Amino acid sequence: MAHIIGSLQGLLHWLIHAGPIYIVALSILVFVHEFGHFWVARRCGVKIEAFSIGFGGELFGWTDRLGTRWRVAWLPIGGFVKMFGDADASSRPDTAAAAQMDAEARRVSFTHKKLWQKALIVAAGPAANFLFAIVIMAVLFSTIGQPFTPPVIGSVVPGSAAEKAGLMAGDVVESVDGVTVRRFEELRQMVVLGTGDPLTLTLMRKGQAMTLVATPQIVEEDDLLGNKTKVGRLGMMPSGQFVMRHEDPATALWQATRETWSITASSLTAIGQMITGRRSSDDLRGPIGMSQVIEQVSHEGFIPLVQLVALLSISLGLINLFPIPVLDGGHLLFYAIEAVSRRPVSDRALAVGFRVGFALIVSFYVFVMWNDITKHI
């Protein structure tokens, strides 16, 4: 009973304190995502009927000169762009209505666009999230700077995994499992994701190239919210202090793209570890857990909060690419099947797919919400 009361008190705290910050951050990212769909669809000649932030009844809105209804709804858990030819907000095609359209209607209908155009419109949402994150980080790297610590080992903890692998002070790490390491921060990120698997490190020692294999030790650490989480650790420290390295705009853009790719790859690795059971699903957070992280980071200042928004934008883009019907990745999967088979996926298959996809999304949402209430509050 005490645990339940504590959970309810935590939920009330979230609604009052953390909820508004989370809603604002999420709404920005949803707008970016949906605007990606909107912008490309307009360039492809598709009529947009509605652009919504949130689901459910409309709180307020307006209609532009091209007939698009811009609206903010009362349930702030996502958004959608309703295109002419769609049956509903999930972008399920209205085949019955499409068959009765005249030439003018077909010209602006999403359903009647070429396959490559539809795929481009669907992919534009996740792409907008990735580009948004790249732009944020590029601006930060060229103004505030990027944390930079040379990937040089300063010391090795006695008895650690690093010592057992033969790593020594002064070693310059150049790559891990074939992935180039430019900063000690990147090396740390690769090690933290370790689940007991060996890592192949290519390094320079006194001008000589070497390859060593190190297996991170799995230890428990507290995350931002004080929850225990398992991470990999080699047991070594960098040789120098980090500096905020300012980059010229072109280099900043390249480093931001590289960082986005690294975060995406790390996220996929973590997801794969959860699927195979090598990482606990307790690390998953829903809206309550994420809003608590946002609230915590917001206390550290505006810049850390902006950095977190960039990270969340990458996560939103990646999640939407999962091949689950209802998500953008599911639509792209159907288009890929159509491209190979040379005929559209049947209405029955689409209907079943959307029901299954919706059930998966709802189940996942309930799971992470329960995870939030029982683990993170």
Say which residues have a Cβ less than 8 Å from residue 277's Cβ, sequence separation at least 6.
none
Integer-rounded Cα Rg, in Å, for the chain is 24
Say which residues have a Cβ less than 8 Å from residue 144's Cβ, sequence separation at least 6.
244, 303
State the DSSP code for 157: -
State the DSSP code for 210: E
The runs of H, that is alpha helices, within 233-341 are 249-275, 287-298, 302-320, 328-341
State the DSSP code for 282: G
* Residue 82: φ, ψ to 5°: -90, 115
What per-residue string of b and e applies to 184-207 under the rule 16 or more CB within 10 Å gives b?
bbbbbbbbbbbbeeebebbbeeee
The residue annotated as part of the active site, out of 34, 186, 259, 295, is 34
Q: Classify 175 as helix, strand or coil.
A: strand
Q: Classify 73 as helix, strand or coil.
A: strand
Residue type (1 letter), 201 = L
State the DSSP code for 216: P
Give the C-alpha separation, 126 to 34, whole Å: 9
Give the C-alpha separation, 152 to 46, whole Å: 54
Give the C-alpha separation, 64 to 226, whole Å: 47
- For the question of residue 186 being annotated catalytic, the response is no
Closest CA to 172 of 102, 268, 238, 227: 238
Q: State the catalytic residues.
A: 34
